[in-house]
Amino acid sequence: MGFIKEKFFGQLDQPQIETTEQFLAGTDERIIFKTKPNKKAHIWESILKNIGFVLIWMAIDVAALVFSFVNNDIEWTFRIMILVFLALHMFPVWLWVAGIVRSVKQAQNAEYALTEKRIIIKSGKLAHDFRVIYYKDIVKIDMKRGRLDKMCGVADIYIRTNTESVALPNIAEVEEVWDRLARLVKQENPQVKI
């Protein structure tokens, strides 16, 4: 059993990396700036996403449910069948609610760090995932602010390399992050579009 444990699951008793400082342990890099997404803005974005569709869907299902319970001509067994059907029919609503709950966990675990050589993005819902983007690989940086972002006082930074695009959403200290990031990227890659 020990062979299977080591071969397929690795060393299960090794501690999991949970902080950016642990991720950088053993390197000569230092963190220049570290921030987290604004939790309130992150949650509001997930609430407002598809809200029109969800409200219409819920209104139709609730109206059918109310009609089935107000109408005295319908038997109780049929009412229970309608209730079960509507609970299943409201699957898109349950997905929307699950998305809100997931966004709370994402906002708690997300973190962005700027070091001397790279951007480290920590994310994940259950476990912590680390993603690294080196400044020398960046070809374009954009900042966008939607209506909700303006109301919450945040903005999103979009980073593009030759192989991938990454978003740093809902940053409250966006001017400071933008200035530091632009300076660090220009040092490594002077022809980048900012």
pLDDT profile of the chain (194 residues), mean per 10:
50 62 75 90 90 92 83 78 87 93 87 90 80 91 91 92 91 90 87 75
Predicted local confidence at residue 20, as pLDDT = 73
Predicted local confidence at residue 128, as pLDDT = 76
Predicted local confidence at residue 5, as pLDDT = 46
Predicted local confidence at residue 109, as pLDDT = 86
Predicted local confidence at residue 8, as pLDDT = 52
Predicted local confidence at residue 16, as pLDDT = 66
Predicted local confidence at residue 53, as pLDDT = 93
DSSP string of the chain, one letter each residue = -HHHHHHHH--TTSPPP-SHHHHTTTSS--EEEEE-B-HHHHHHHHHHTTHHHHHHHHHHHHHHHHHHHH-TTS-HHHHHHHHHHHHHHTHHHHHHHHHHHHHHHHHHH-EEEEESSEEEEEE-SSS-EEEEEEGGGEEEEEEE--HHHHHHT-EEEEEEESS-EEEEEEETTHHHHHHHHHHHHHHH-TT-B-
For domain 13-37+110-188, give the fold: PH-domain like (2.30.29)
